[in-house]
Amino acid sequence: MTRATATAPGKIILFGEHAVVYGRAAIAVPVTNVQATATIENAPAGTGCRLSAPDIGARIRLSDAPIDPLAVAVRLAIEAAGIEAEPDWYVTVRSTIPIAGGMGSGAAVSAALARAVLSHIGHCVAAPSTAWPRVSSARWRDQPIPDPETVNRIVFAVEELHHATPSGIDNTVIVYEQPVWFARGRPPQVFAIACPFQLIIADTGIAYSTRQVVADVRRAWREKTIRYEAIFDSIGAVAEAARRAIGAGHVTALGPLMQENQRLLRQLDVSAEALERLIAIAEKAGASGAKLSGGGRGGNLIALVRPERVDAVREALLASGAVRVIVTEVGASNYELSNS
């Protein structure tokens, strides 16, 4: 095989961010409108493995970057395939997923890299069994694919470099490309959506380190454990109610639940003025509810929108300073992998 290309989607957390780090459940879904793409091509003998990430201006030689996340993802995938010597490859990774926006850009890049490496080496498995979550696209059901369990382990290891104490939700929803009900320490549960619904994802344009926000919340939790545990319990209860509503097709219940989740996130001090302003604008323009998604202090908000209000909410957000707006239908899935 001379070339392999693999993709991975972005993700958003619908309910439960931050509380999921402390054992409560969260709901996350893939966002296929944005993707990370990794391509591997054979290089001349003696070249070694060279990585390029044009979107961020990075050029890396695998042997010279022991802790770079891109290099770690490639190295772990090579090791998982049982390859000992550094291969002669050109590896290129591109992404349309906003960085530091709560959409899992780091996990998606790692997943795309791991998939491309395993595919290029030919370290694939037959179609996954029904005993565990599987990549959802029917077109891959009967074909060998990189083992999602292996890819998930690789991506989680890289997430530890990014976030120190990741919840595990980003790697899980991105690797399995399904709506996921997740609680740390328990197997992820893929679940069906009874009635599709539309979301608008709006980028504030403010990049903020998820790792730093998570660390700040942990510091506050240590200082005010009883108060923060109560907030986490309430967030977990909102996520539970949201799962029931999604499973029953009660989409109208999700708007108020988003508003309640945002109120609780505000108490954790993870919101920001820009988020609050755009959330208010979205709801005024017709969104049924809106909240931040991800680490907070910047990044993205999500808004639940009826189809007839999509244009009005999107235009209001863009006119009010959102730097990017994505409209997505929850439940869509896509998995691309090609060899040549």
Q: Running along the chain, 340 residues long, what does each successive block of 10 average in pLDDT?
A: 88 94 92 93 95 93 90 95 92 90 88 94 58 41 71 92 75 87 81 90 89 94 98 97 94 97 98 97 98 92 96 97 92 44
The total number of structural domains in the chain stands at 2
C-beta of residue 256 within 8 angstroms of C-beta of residue 286? no
C-beta of residue 313 within 8 angstroms of C-beta of residue 305? yes
Q: In terms of domains, do 202 and 179 share one?
A: no
Instruction: Establish if 335 belongs to a structural domain.
Output: no
| Residue ending a domain, choose from 157, 192, 227 | 192
pLDDT at site 333:
43
Q: In terms of domains, do 120 and 214 share one?
A: no
Domain, as residue range, for 119: 3-192
pLDDT at site 218:
96
Instruction: Establish if 339 belongs to a structural domain.
Output: no
Q: In terms of domains, do 179 and 58 share one?
A: yes
Instruction: Establish if 337 belongs to a structural domain.
Output: no
Q: In terms of domains, do 56 and 172 share one?
A: yes
Q: In terms of domains, do 90 and 232 share one?
A: no
Q: In terms of domains, do 45 and 146 share one?
A: yes
Q: In terms of domains, do 216 and 185 share one?
A: no
Residue 61: which CATH number?
A: 3.30.230.10
Q: 3-state SS string over the chain?
A: CCEEEEEEEEEEEEECCCHHHHCCCEEEEEEEEEEEEEEEEECCCCCCEEEEEHHHCEEEEHHHCCCCHHHHHHHHHHHHCCCCCCCCEEEEEEECCCCCCCCCHHHHHHHHHHHHHHHHHCCCECCCCCCCCCCCCHHHCCCCECCHHHHHHHHHHHHHHHHCCCCCHHHHHHHHCCCEEECCCCCCEECCCCCCEEEEEEECCCCCCHHHHHHHHHHHHHHCHHHHHHHHHHHHHHHHHHHHHHHHCCHHHHHHHHHHHHHHHHHCCCCCHHHHHHHHHHHHCCCCEEEEECCCCCCEEEEEECHHHHHHHHHHHHHCCCCEEEEEEECCCCCCEEEC
Rounded alpha-carbon distances, angstroms, from residue 95 to 8, 14, 110, 287, 298: 9, 22, 11, 28, 20
Instruction: Establish if 83 belongs to a structural domain.
Output: yes
pLDDT at site 125:
56
pLDDT at site 52:
96
Q: In terms of domains, do 222 and 323 share one?
A: yes
Q: In terms of domains, do 47 and 125 share one?
A: yes
Q: In terms of domains, do 188 and 286 share one?
A: no
pLDDT at site 103:
87
Q: Find tokens 């091509």 and name the residue.
A: 41
Instruction: Establish if 188 belongs to a structural domain.
Output: yes
Q: In terms of domains, do 167 and 234 share one?
A: no
Residue 283: which CATH number?
A: 3.30.70.890
Q: In terms of domains, do 288 and 177 share one?
A: no
Instruction: Establish if 314 belongs to a structural domain.
Output: yes
